[in-house]
Chain A
């Protein structure tokens, strides 16, 4: 059985004709060619497939594409559309928050969604959020540090902006 559906990913609308059993992650990777999102376990534990659905981190392996018709989906490809790494990606690089890079897109989207919701997290809170996903290379410390650093930089930038607007 083939179903017609419409999916909005990274601001772009796509028309699809797919089996209803097709997962979001398979659609993103194999139908839309957005291979930045990875598949690590297909049962919702490892978080390598984390994307943002209407701004909130979600496991793309546990969602059928049909379930998110009408939602705004964001993948790792949206972070640096022009090729220039964004501040979060830059922090991951500076802190060596990635080695093989397989869990990285999931970690980035997890952090991107979280920081948008909670711009002033403590390190412990960041650690708890990072515990949503698995990384086998880094031992997590540098991932937590990268997100922490990015949050500080964003806060500093925001303060600067405020100061600027007061003048």
Chain B
């Protein structure tokens, strides 16, 4: 039975490891050949197409919805209002007292009242998408308009109309946290106090593939089968089952290839529930594909926040305290499962950032307005509070007459683990090292001398930050979520010829998990990574999962996959040792088999016994080769970190900002696939630059969205996004299975701060300081004009 192992794969890293090697992505061949399978690529026999009658009013009582003409439209098969479908509402709650959190319900279709332009009122189902749109146009909706609430300050006004009757002052979340004893004295006696007031624009995460779903009832499986582009299939299952009144086992949610998500797809959408409910009612497949106009106006948005933050410093530049007020405009509804608390609670908990802040007080609020609701978006609040804190360091440096990088050096956390004033313990990172390397890189490249060129308006800006990536159950429980994400569960199986399939509760939608998770398994079992199949995005095949968000996939999902692999490896060693009459303790997984002393047995041979010759198995070992493992983060999680450095040149003629250079020094612990990590950083930085300079979802005073197409919502192209130089540092995480920290969000987090600081640095001679994003070009123009 014993044989010789096959030759090694040339892609392996020199030390024989798959982890750390930038191997070809498993995802690429099908995506490049146009053979991926996205939701809109799916066609089922007899399939119908849904579109939605949407509110044209921002705030109104819904007096009547007349669908008679809709139903008479050629091609239309059915049209339903909320009353017709009678679905339970989507609700998400926090375990917080009423003065801290007001629960509100999001109906699947509007009932009695509409709260934003674009809110779905009725679903129209037709034989083809064109007819569905014809049907939508035939709907007659009668509104009694109410005064809309369109700004955060308007929402908080004493006499403001109420978006939800149950939420006084339109406040859904209001928490006051930490309030270190004596903080007022700290500020009263501090030699230097600086303040930043910043407003950040509402943004759309904007996956290039809009949201969409195909749903059908399957009589054979007695299941509502839902193929949807969601980052969180199990959560969709739960909400859908609850809304339509089915058992969990009667709903199967699968996720095909997904054209990005960035958080917009990590909450449960109303339209996917309504389309599935229509399919259930009609007993026919129903597809809904969101069009771009709806995606820009009625999908989940994010990032509209207002900060008022003061910081106290000693005369020699030591930060003494941080006092913050954060208001997040969460739009019309709380999202599932995160609630409207997602942004204010993130900002409040983590604002002290990478600095040793001894005193901290924060008030974080979520207000509801008549705008499309919000969801987590890549980085969640961190792009905003990091920007504010990094502005504080720039302002304090000016007030103190110090160099801003030097001021950061003096305050950055250098001794780990560090437990902050916010009760969070930070695991080891390279905060200071990244700052030093980033500055040195720009200096070596000559940017500091170019900055002094009097004929040009050039500025250099930095952002030093960390990013909690392994949010385990404990960390989410601290937020007092009723539904507490955190762990991941993995089931691994080896089949007859020694190939491996492994489930993950996470969900790749561009992050390359089919490759990187396979690399993790490959190292644990000693098989080539292309012998490992990753199974994801199927609620029937995966016991439970929390999907992919918050850079959790490799830290938590990757750890579960690794743990399952180890268990399977133990089984293989035990069986092989028995078959080779050796000691299981001396058995080593190697080259696609098990070596015991001088003998080697391939996995295919072991699997042959496990499945086809079970009588040869050791006593007490059952047939088959499979194992299950889970992973959760016990403590406060792990922190990736980075420093970004940005060089901009301003155009006095237009107020335009050109990014001349962008350097990112990042540390995500062990990089499973360095090329993928760099891709995440570059893509994240592009989205951060987009928020800093270009993108904003604006509304007029009546609550009408002003950016319903790509003509108004300005997504940056290759001409606006610079090349990014990336340098890697590696501080391995001590408690994830692979030493990896998350890498999905850091780019987005650092970029707004680096860009804004660079613009302000370029404006240093003007006396003008800008703290809002997107940075208004006319403000730059005026500042340069008057100087």
Contacts and interface: CB of A to CB of B under 8 A. Distances in A.
B209 A139 contact: no
A98 B36 CA distance: 13
A155 B255 CA distance: 41
B33 A85 contact: yes
B42 to A, nearest CB: 9
Contacts of B289: 39
A58 interface: no
Nearest to A127: B718
B208 A22 contact: no
Given A41-B710, A85-B33, A102-B38, A139 B682 contact: yes
Interface string A86-114: 00010011101011111111001000000
A102 B259 contact: yes
Nearest to A105: B34
Tell me the interface secondary structure of chain B in the complex. loop
Given A75-B34, A93-B32, A136 B683 contact: yes
A29 B34 CA distance: 11
A26 B35 CA distance: 17
B718 A140 contact: yes
Contacts of A30: 43
Nearest to B37: A35
A138 B24 CA distance: 16
A102 B40 CA distance: 11
B259 A142 contact: no
A103 B208 contact: yes
A102 B32 contact: no
Task: Classify chain A's interface size.
Answer: 35 or more
Could you say which of B259, B260, B678, B718 has the most chain A C-beta atoms within 10 Å of its C-beta? B718
Given A127-B718, A134-B715, A143-B718, A36 B35 contact: yes
Nearest to A138: B683
B219 interface: no
Interface stretch (B99-107, B179-187, B507-515, B620-628): B507-515
A120 interface: no
B719 interface: yes
B209 A102 contact: yes
B257 interface: yes
A79 B35 CA distance: 12
A132 to B, nearest CB: 8
A71 to B, nearest CB: 20
Contacts of A108: 32
Nearest to B720: A131
Contacts of B258: 100
Contact of A76 (B24, B34, B208, B686): B34
B509 A139 contact: no
Contacts of A103: 208, 259
Contacts of A101: 27-28, 31-32, 36, 257, 259, 510
Contacts of A80: 32-33
Given A100-B257, A104-B32, A136-B262, 6 more contacts: A36-B33, A45-B709, A100-B207, A131-B719, A132-B717, A137-B679
Please give me the 8 A-B residue pairs with the lowest Cβ-Cβ distance, nearest first: A36-B34, A102-B259, A101-B31, A100-B510, A76-B34, A139-B686, A139-B682, A45-B710
